[in-house]
Chain A
């Protein structure tokens, strides 16, 4: 990879970290070597490769210290909201209150990967009747039981209805174990019927106005619960300010994505981009810091662009990636196979789109929530993928199946069919388990073959 910023092993990444700390590079208190997290059991970190930059150092430290932040928030008397499943809506509301932090217990999805199954969360889930017919989100139930990961929230919310059965089943099991949940309804987004009042949602989907009204009334219940929890009103003024802050995060991320997914040579690796996208959902429990972390990444991208320096050789095969990977290491693998990310749809594109600021705040939030790609037809999701893949200039689409996920089988087939028809691009479906090492040769062979196909097609 001559002329490129190489990826670093964890040891090298930690050396870089220590150098920066010794040199007095301004770093927040949470920043530090990843080895400390390995000591806590995050063994997958040893096998990942990282971007060679101070921005990435801060990103990783920020991500991996979230639990500490949550415990510190609890110790400081702040209220903690566990928002479940909506991916991007309830935290915008929660962070509009000064004494509330929100996080997604769903994040335990990745714990078995990060801890290479040593944490036993799947075992606990299994003992609760949540076996491997369910997606990795079942790890969340284990985390509630062993309480070794996040503090038990003061308020738990969960969107149900047109979400997914896996989550609904796991959350219901949690409630049966004594964790009360504020359930809120997410209707199945449908196309407006002829003559029906309709609205365009952020991101471009169309929906009946009546469905936005339903979601809005459900979010009003959340608003009341949050205000009661915080002991202070959550008015439109506070919400509007919260939306502006969330949009700040989304705008920075939007610029970062548009550069990282289009510029040659690729200025930011896939793994760091996956982590960066996740910050948009709930700000990793610190909204202001997530702005700072994303801004640094963006600055790094600009610096590399100015120097015409990338992280991969020019000409890497341009892949659009659908669904998050249960094993983060697969993001490294795709680059090892000669590919790069050119667009993503990690199940939460609605959390990346800016929230309208010209509507009443609750209306805006409802519109954004209803734009969740998972609550509507797969054809809508496919249309968004087609649009984004086109915009980012993707040359192939990878649909990464999530083991046990109730939506993946039919949805993946529908998306694959539509993408092939509309874009004429090669589509590959892969299943990625939380620790994919045993499947490495298969995954590599399939990605190699895809890259080869892409390069062949360039010759036509």
Chain B
């Protein structure tokens, strides 16, 4: 089976799988980025690492337009000519029916790309069945996450994204690929009042807003996750929310450093955490119009910094921060990532909580500096 790698949470794994192609959401290793992958200065180390690793390890690569760096990295890799590259246009705006239509059209274009790679266009039933399978697996994952440390949960999500069955001790046959990390699951409870297929019509837009708000309330990943046993041992530690961009391979050490400094991860709001899970699928819509349900569950609900306006993100944060009782926030961002650049100042304003703006280079030798800053931050919170 052909595999495609991607990084953005806006690429639905089930859409790829329904085409008979194996989806692999990659957490790249910045330390392993090839020197030939673009200049060092000015290029986001995560985007650079993804481009480097994806270009050498997959049958094809999907980039998204969710940031300038990835958009341009896609071109960089396609000019290399070594791997088929698909650049998926994920609109920044989301409040208009036209934006959702554009996302849907891009999924269909992605479908044609997958067919050209050797996949097959899925029937409606096949798509619905694949979506149901993913939904069920995400529910299982959710259950698993409840008993894990922050790092363990993050790594479980990464394995899930690679295709590993939640609850199993290891990856299903053939999925223990050297790529290590993928992601894409959603451990959310079933969504009520999910969007209907009319949601792309102007009349449906307002209704979708309401549904989205309800869905968002229902999604609340951490508020539905039981306090992990491992955390209970550190219950006296100050609760901290980690919010920001993606985690690369090995970035789980962030959670270790935080716990070592006496903190407790009360909320993983990184791009690689449960924040970017799609909403659970609505059973009825899944059968009626699975593609539109996919659009609504991903494009209609995932909160992220690149969206304009970024209301969904701040609604999500306000709810989740309250639920997590976090006493401080760490903004996790790669240098040159503009999307998260202003987040620290805004969060300080919006929450009145102490905020650590942690910019990282992905260079393993520099992680000590980040750990020291985390340590100092925790001193403040004590």
Question: CB of B49 within 8 A of chain A?
Answer: no
State A175–B346 Cα separation when bound (angstroms): 11
Chain B residues lying within 8 Å of A134, measured Cβ to Cβ, are: 338, 341
State A73–B314 Cα separation when bound (angstroms): 37
Question: CB of B71 within 8 A of chain A?
Answer: yes
User: Given the interface contacts A169-B338, A414-B75, does A161 sit within 8 Å of B93 by beta carbon?
Assistant: yes
User: Given the interface contacts A134-B341, A172-B308, A406-B336, does A160 sit within 8 Å of B92 by beta carbon?
Assistant: yes
Contact of B72 among A166, A168, A181, A411 (CB under 8 A): A411
Question: CB of B52 within 8 A of chain A?
Answer: no
Chain B residues lying within 8 Å of A171, measured Cβ to Cβ, are: 308
Contact A129 B72 (CB under 8 A): no
Question: CB of B335 within 8 A of chain A?
Answer: yes
**Could you mark each residue 54-72 of chain B with 1 if its beta carbon is under 8 Å from any beta carbon of chain A, else 0?**
0000000000010111011
Stretch at the interface among B96-104, B263-271, B293-301, B363-371: B96-104
Chain A residues lying within 8 Å of B140, measured Cβ to Cβ, are: none
Contact of A183 among B42, B73, B309, B343 (CB under 8 A): B309
Please, could you name 16 A-B residue pairs with CB atoms under 8 Å apart, sorted by A? Answer: A128-B345, A133-B359, A162-B71, A164-B68, A168-B306, A172-B309, A172-B342, A176-B349, A183-B92, A184-B93, A185-B98, A185-B102, A187-B91, A379-B79, A407-B68, A410-B73
Question: CB of B43 within 8 A of chain A?
Answer: yes
Question: CB of B339 within 8 A of chain A?
Answer: yes
Contact A408 B42 (CB under 8 A): yes
Chain B residues lying within 8 Å of A173, measured Cβ to Cβ, are: 342, 345-346
Contact B342 A214 (CB under 8 A): no
Question: CB of A217 within 8 A of chain B?
Answer: yes
Question: CB of B241 within 8 A of chain A?
Answer: no
State A29–B115 Cα separation when bound (angstroms): 66
Q: Which residue of A lies closest to B306 (CB)?
A: A168
**Chain B interfacial residues counted at CB < 8 A:** 45
Contact B68 A406 (CB under 8 A): yes
Q: Which residue of A lies closest to B43 (CB)?
A: A409
State A194–B342 Cα separation when bound (angstroms): 41
Chain B residues lying within 8 Å of A128, measured Cβ to Cβ, are: 342, 345
**Chain A interfacial residues counted at CB < 8 A:** 49
Chain B residues lying within 8 Å of A406, measured Cβ to Cβ, are: 42, 67-69, 336, 338
Supplied contacts A127-B345, A414-B72, 18 more A-B pairs, CB within 8 Å: A129-B344, A129-B345, A129-B346, A161-B65, A161-B89, A164-B338, A168-B92, A171-B308, A172-B308, A173-B342, A173-B345, A183-B308, A214-B98, A406-B42, A408-B42, A409-B38, A410-B39, A410-B76
Query: Which positions in B face A, CB cutoff 8 Å?
Result: 38-39, 41-43, 65, 67-69, 71-73, 75-76, 79, 87, 89, 91-93, 96, 98-99, 102, 105, 109, 112, 306, 308-310, 335-339, 341-346, 349, 357, 359
Q: Which residue of A lies closest to B355 (CB)?
A: A129
Question: CB of A165 within 8 A of chain B?
Answer: yes
Chain A residues lying within 8 Å of B306, measured Cβ to Cβ, are: 165, 168
Contact B72 A217 (CB under 8 A): no
User: Given the interface contacts A183-B92, A408-B42, A409-B39, does A188 sit within 8 Å of B343 by beta carbon?
Assistant: no
Q: Which residue of A lies closest to B313 (CB)?
A: A172
Q: 6 closest pairs, A vs B, by CB?
A: A129-B345, A409-B42, A165-B338, A129-B342, A410-B72, A406-B68
Question: CB of A200 within 8 A of chain B?
Answer: no
Contact B67 A165 (CB under 8 A): yes
Closest CB in chain B relative to A428 CB, distance in Å: 15
Closest CB in chain A relative to B106 CB, distance in Å: 9
Closest CB in chain B relative to A134 CB, distance in Å: 6
Contact A183 B93 (CB under 8 A): yes
Question: CB of A457 within 8 A of chain B?
Answer: no
User: Given the interface contacts A130-B342, A169-B339, A407-B68, does A187 sit within 8 Å of B89 by beta carbon?
Assistant: yes
Question: CB of A221 within 8 A of chain B?
Answer: yes
Contact A168 B75 (CB under 8 A): no
Closest CB in chain B relative to A171 CB, distance in Å: 8
Closest CB in chain B relative to A286 CB, distance in Å: 31
